[in-house]
Amino acid sequence: MSANKAFIEVQSAEMVFNTRKGQFHALRDIHLQVQKGEFITLIGHSGCGKSTLLNLIAGLLRPTSGVLLCDNREITEPGPERAVVFQNHSLLPWLTCFENVYLGVESVFGGRELKRQLAERTDAALELVGMSHAMFKRPHEISGGMKQRVGIARALAMEPKVLLMDEPFGALDALTRAHLQDELLKIVARTHSTVVMVTHDVDEAVLLSDRIVMMTNGPAATIGEIYAVDIPRPRSRVELVEDPVYVHARKAVIDFLYTRHAAPVEKKAA
């Protein structure tokens, strides 16, 4: 781990929501540092506050107390330096793939670049995720995996300092998910992006991460343990299956989630 100052810092963050049933304490005493170029995954059972923490980093939520910093600046709202990719691709259905990406590019660079330059950025982003062939198709004309590629292209085209991903492959079939995981590994290697990603998939976390942030169960969830995945890059899915370091990392995460912090059993109504 670099001794340099962290690129993202979460300092004593608490998150309490006011609901119709009263206050709900989602997160407590969250301390997290992410170095520039690191790939971090947040993992835990449903209701552990993974997405809430990601939304705090994105600036979509403000913490009840505590401070979040990105590149030494306090996070108080969403910003182009932090692009978000959700499980739902969030593409505008009436626009083509090209137009959906161009919209994001224009929002960041429109005030200082020519339309030709904006189009070149859009083309490059679609090529990066292997979607150049479908740039003039609309979302209803392409598969779920292709929609996610376009969503990732839109985020990358904005040249964010941080890529935030909330279970981006969670709704996809296993083969498509595996293929996009492999593509994401290649993209991150080329762009040197700093990534914070929410996942519920242990294998995905171990394959992609430099460190895995394991959350305790909610309410009042916090970081229970952070596991460093000491596997050199580039990583090959096939080669890792029997790699003892991979197997040990996978076992450590499973042990945390299903032995030491098993999901609470819901009580059935009488």
Q: What is the pLDDT of residue 106?
A: 95
For residue range 211-235, what is the model confidence (pLDDT) as tens digits?
Answer: 999 999 999 999 999 999 999 999 9
- Round to whole Å and give the CA distance between 257 and 216: 8
* The two structure tokens encoding residue 155: 């985020």
C-alpha 263/C-alpha 270 separation (Å) is 21
pLDDT in tens, 160-218: 999 999 998 887 888 888 988 998 898 888 888 899 999 999 999 999 999 999 999 99
Which tokens in the block code for residue 217? 């169960």
In this prediction the pTM is: 0.90
pLDDT tens digit sequence for 43-66: 999 989 999 999 999 999 999 999
Angle between helices 144-157 and 97-109 (to 10 degrees): 20
pLDDT given for residue 266 in this prediction: 54
Query: What pLDDT, on a 0 to 100 scale, did the predictor assign at position 270?
Result: 41
Secondary structure class of 245 (helix, strand, coil): helix
> For residue 29, what are its two tokens?
């005493």
Burial (CB < 10 A; 0-12, 13-18, 19+), residue 99, is: middle
194, 8 Cβ separation under 8 angstroms: yes
Q: What percent of the chain has pLDDT over 70?
A: 96
Q: Distance between CA atoms of 32 and 17, rounded to whole angstroms?
A: 21
Whether the CB-CB separation of 167 and 117 falls below 8 Å is answered with no
Closest Cα to residue 221, out of 47, 34, 60, 22? 47
Residue, of 1 and 70, whose pLDDT is higher: 70
Strand pairing report for 39-43 and 73-74:
unpaired
In angstroms, rounded to a whole number, what is the distance separating the alpha carbons of residues 248 and 159? 35
Q: Which pLDDT tens digit goes with each residue over 19-34?
A: 999 999 999 999 999 9
Instruction: Identify each DSSP E strand in the chain by its residue range.
Output: 8-19, 22-34, 39-43, 65-70, 73-74, 82-85, 162-166, 194-199, 211-215, 223-228
Q: Where are the alpha helices (DSSP H) in the chain?
A: 50-58, 97-109, 115-128, 144-157, 174-191, 202-208, 237-240, 244-255
Look at strands 39-43 and 211-215 and give their pairing.
parallel
Among residues 209, 184, 196, the alpha carbon closest in space to that of 50 is found at: 196
Domain boundaries, the chain: 1-81+161-270, 87-159
CA-atom Rg of the chain in angstroms: 19
User: Which top CATH class is 1-81+161-270?
Assistant: alpha beta
